Structure 1
Amino acid sequence: MFRYVVRRLLLMVLTFFGATFVVYALVFLNADDPIQALVGDRPVTATQRLVLTERYHLNDSFLQQYWYYAKGLLTGDFGTSLTGRSIKDMLADAWPLTMRLAVMAIVFAAIIAIGAGVVSGVRRGGIFDNATLLFTLVLLSLPIVVLAPLAQLIFGIKLGWFAPTAGKNATFMQLLLPAFVLASTVVAAELRVSRASVSENLRADYVRTARAKGLSRARVIGVHVLRNSLIPVITLIGVDVGVLMSGAIVTEKVFNIPGVGFNLWRGLRTEDGPVVVGFVSVLVIVFLVLNLIVDLLYAVLDPRIRYE
């Protein structure tokens, strides 16, 4: 186990710098005039342009710019935005909100997907199974850019069941609707995988053996089938973290939540390259760490799996 973790950590380091290099290239190689994009239609004096150009090494080559950024990452310095604010401070303000929203979305998606997937897998071809199939098809056909404002309009403004916006000091109730909207981006796939996994495991030999030993149906499904069926679902949840982070850009913008997604959207709109690269770098770290945790959970869910 120790050697496996060490190997994975070394691969994570290479993946991290490879991903940040690609993101840095996508942001800065195609940037037209980030200084003018920042100020909009207002004029920029020659002195201001010179100061900003020197501060952000805009006259240096691309590889030199990335080298400056990589050196900062090694010391925990994510740089400074074009507005002069420390990106580390911006992350400190934005992450708590996004983490609360993401955790709520993951919990809601997991509960709905696993619960409905188990019932659908046990009762294949029934009314509930067909209803969940229709439900997942509808969710898959609605992109988050449509679903988020639609949910805000119907459930937040028209019906008044939820708060239409959240804000910086959002409460649990204010984050409910954004969390459900964000969970909808991953719940459909997780539900279908959960249903397929349960359906397959019900036909396995160990299930027939457990039933032959006289175990109750609830124990067979709740202990034996569910435990083995969770392995592909856990894998998908780890991958879905990236989907949630991309969906958070739209969700936080629509519901006015000043989290990571909102800051990324604002950085993209103003062509604030340091903000975009800094926030994406942290998202890469989160994605890599969570996928390592998911891989280690395999051995917990399935004793046959050993990392040697």
Structure 2
Amino acid sequence: MTRYIVRRLLQMVLTFFGATFVVYALMFANQDDPYQVLAGDRVVSDSQRAALNAQYHLDKGFFTQYWYYVKGLLTGDFGTSLTGRRIGDMLAEAWPITIKLTLLAIVISAVVAIAAGVFSAVRRGGIFDHVTLVLTLVVLAMPIVVLAPVAQLIFGVKLGWFPVTVTRDANLYQLLLPALVLGTLVVATELRVTRSSVAENLRADYVRTARAKGLSTRRVVGVHVLRNSLIPVITLIGVDLGVLMSGAIVTEGVFNIPGVGFNLFRGIRTEDGPVVVGFVSVLVIVFLVVNLIVDLLYAVLDPRIRYE
């Protein structure tokens, strides 16, 4: 197990630098004029432009720029945005609200998906199975750019059940509506994967043996089938956790949540390369760590899996 973890950590290092290099190249290789975008209609003088170029090393070659970025990254310095704010401070402000929103969304979606998927598999071919199939298809067909403002209008403005906007110090109740909206990105897929996995395991030999020994359906499904069926679901949830953190741009924009997605969208719109690269670098770390944890959970769920 130790050798496997060390090997995975080395792979994570290579993946991290490869991903950050690609993102850095996409943001800076063909950048237009970010200073003019930030200045708006005001004129940026040549002296101001030269000073900013020297501050952000934009007067040097691309690989030299990337080296300065990596050198700062290794010391915990994510740099400074084009507006003069420390990116580390922006990350410290944005990540707590996004983590709370993402964890709430993943818990809601996982509970709903696993419960409904198991019941749908046990009662496959029934009314509940057909209804969930139709609902998941509807959810998959409805883009988040439509669902988020519609949910805000109906449940926030018309009915008044939830706050219309969310502040940085929001509690779980204030985050509930955006978390429900965000969870719809993954709940349909998780439900269908759970149903397929449980239905496949219900036809396995060990299930027939357990039933022949007189075990109740609840014990067979809850203890034996569910544990073996959770491996693909856990994999999907691990991937979805990173997807939700990076895919919250629309949800955070609609509900005015000052989180990671909100800052990423603003950085892209203003061509603030340091902000985009800094936030994406942390997202890459989250993806890698979550995938490592998911792989280690395989051995917990299935004792037959050993990492040697």
Please report the TM-score for the alignment, with normalisation by the length of structure 2: 0.98
- Shifted more, 115-124 versus 70-79: the winner is 70-79
Aligned to 1:45: 45
Q: Does 1:252 align with 2:256?
A: no
Pairing 1:70-149 to 2, within 5 Å after superposition: 70-149=70-149
Matched, 1:285 2:288: no
1:159 aligns with 2:159: yes
**How far apart in 2 are the matches of 1:215 and 1:30?**
65
| Pairwise CA distance, 1:50 | 1.7
Match of 2:59 in 1: 59
- AA matched with 1:141: A
Which letter does structure 2 place at the counterpart of 1:31? Q
C-alpha distance in 1, partners of 2:142/2:91? Answer: 30
Once the 2 structures are TM-superposed, how far is the Cα of residue 142 of structure 1 from its aligned partner? 1.1
Matching of residue 195 in structure 1 with residue 195 in structure 2 = yes
Equivalent residues, number:
308
How far apart are residue 150 of structure 1 and its match?
1.3
1:217 corresponds to: 217
> CA offsets per residue over residues 233-258 of structure 1, 9 Å max, x none?
00001111232123211111110110
Aligned to 2:7: 7
Hey, what does 2:182 align to over in structure 1? 182
Cα distance in structure 1, aligned partners of 2:39 and 2:177: 34
1:33 maps to 33
Residues of 2 paired with 1:108 and 1:246: CA distance?
18
1:255-287 CA deviation, whole Å, 9 max, x = no partner? 011011111011011110000000000000011
- Cα pair 1:185 1:243 within 8 Å, conserved: no
Contact 1:69/1:79 (8 A) holds in 2: yes
Per-residue CA deviation, residues 276-307 of structure 1 (Å, 9 max, x unaligned), is: 00000000001100000000000000000000
Q: Distance in 2 between matches of 1:289 and 1:196?
A: 27
Moved over 4 A (4+): none
Q: Could you tell me whether the CA contact under 8 Å between 2:242 and 2:286 is conserved in 1?
A: no
Q: Distance in 2 between matches of 1:104 and 1:40?
A: 38
Q: Would you say the 8 A contact 2:246–2:261 is kept in 1?
A: yes
1:54-93 deviations in Å (ceiling 9; x for gaps): 1001111111111111111111111110011110111011
Question: Could you give the per-residue CA deviations for residues 203-234 of structure 1, whole angstroms, max 9, x where no partner exists?
Answer: 00110111111111110010001101111000
TM-score, normalised relative to structure 1: 0.98
Consecutive unaligned residues in structure 2, runs of 5 or more: none
- Partners in 2 of 1:246 and 1:30 — Cα distance? 23
Provide the C-alpha distance between the structure 2 equivalents of 1:4 and 1:183, rounded to a whole number of angstroms.
33
Structure 2: which amino acid aligns with 1:268?
A: I
Gaps of 5+ in 1: none
CA RMSD for the aligned pairs? 0.9
Q: Is the 8 A contact 1:95 1:259 kept in 2?
A: yes
Please tell me the residue identity of whatever aligns with 2:58: L
Tell me by how many angstroms 1:158 deviates: 1.4
